[in-house]
Amino acid sequence: MHSNIKLFVEADYDAMSQKAAEIFAAAVQAKPGGVFGFATGGTPVGMYRVLTQMYQSGKLDFSGLTAFNLDEYHPLKRDDAQSYYTFMQEQLFGQVNIDAAKTHIPNGEAQNPAHECEAYDKMIEDAGGIDFQILGIGANGHIGFNEPGESFSARTAYVPLTEITVQSNARFFASADEVPRHAITMGIRGIMMSRRILMLCSGEGKAAILRDALCGPITPLVPASVLQLHRDVTIVADKSAAALL
Ligand code: GLP
């Protein structure tokens, strides 16, 4: 594995969540007014729970943060139970003292997605870029919603979801038919422009793709493999996800 990647292997999901929360909290304490990139999915839920507890016990202050989420389904109403807007409200933003006016998520209701993408990049730029980006990894190696084959040079983009992603995210919806077929996602180039990246990875189902991403060839066919080119990446994995490294 490349030496620019720091890897922490923790015993289980809870230990992974705790470790990731500690790394995140240290970054906030180092730069309380920083710009933080947030991710959704099942994997970071435990970390968000620990961060909420840190806030409740007075150990962490979110009031100075600016937040940009990676992605949002399109089309999907902001208040839909499965929107990433709702997810962030429930898992973190609605639980801590973050300033709602400084939280940003791509608009899944945008009439003109191309315009929304440009506006999103402009907001990130105006905020000074992302200091610290949290990532998960999809079953097919996607980061954000950058599916295999998406160009490494894209910034925020309106993208189709692959069938694998629709099927693996169907668990959150009533059925696969309900899963939107598109998303607005920060692109690979945008993600790579973050100054620091923290990726969480849990479960044996992610072991092969994590190995491919960290130890295999750097290729758009495994979007997360681009992280091998970033200068400051930390991976926190549980034992099952790290089993093939
Ligand atoms: C979604 C998100 C990704 C996330 C991935 C993995 O598709 N767009 O940002 O990393 O799911 O999800 P999970 O953590 O549930 O495995």
- Look up residue 54 and give its two tokens: 């840190």
The model's confidence at residue 87, banded by pLDDT at 50, 70 and 90, is: very high
Q: In what order do the strands lie in the sheet with 103-104?
A: 5-10, 233-238, 196-201, 132-135, 35-38, 66-69, 103-104
> Catalytic site residue 112?
no
Which one is predicted more confidently, 34 or 168? 34
> Catalytic site residue 2?
no
Mean pLDDT for all residues in the chain = 97
pLDDT digits 0-9 by tens, 123-139: 999 999 999 999 999 99
Q: Is the pLDDT of residue 19 over 80?
A: yes
- Would strands 196-201 and 132-135 be described as parallel, antiparallel, or unpaired? parallel
Q: In what order do the strands lie in the sheet with 182-185?
A: 71-74, 182-185, 157-160
> Catalytic site residue 142?
yes
pLDDT of residue 1: 73
Q: Does ligand 1 come within 6 angstroms of the Cβ of 169? A: yes
pLDDT of residue 3: 72
CB contact at 8 A, 159 and 182: yes
- Of the candidates 140, 146, 169, 212, the residue annotated as catalytic is 140
> Catalytic site residue 150?
no
Q: Does ligand 1 come within 6 angstroms of the Cβ of 42? A: yes
Q: Which of 17-31, 43-57, 164-178 has the lowest mean pLDDT?
A: 164-178
CA angle centred on 192, ends 79 and 227, rounded to 5° = 105
pLDDT digits 0-9 by tens, 201-241: 999 999 999 999 999 999 999 999 999 999 999 999 999 99
The model's confidence at residue 170, banded by pLDDT at 50, 70 and 90, is: very high
pLDDT of residue 4: 80
Ligand 1 centroid to 43 CA: how many Å? Answer: 7
Q: Does ligand 1 come within 6 angstroms of the Cβ of 70? A: yes
Q: How far apart are CA 217 and CA 165, in angstroms?
A: 22
Q: Does ligand 1 come within 6 angstroms of the Cβ of 210? A: no
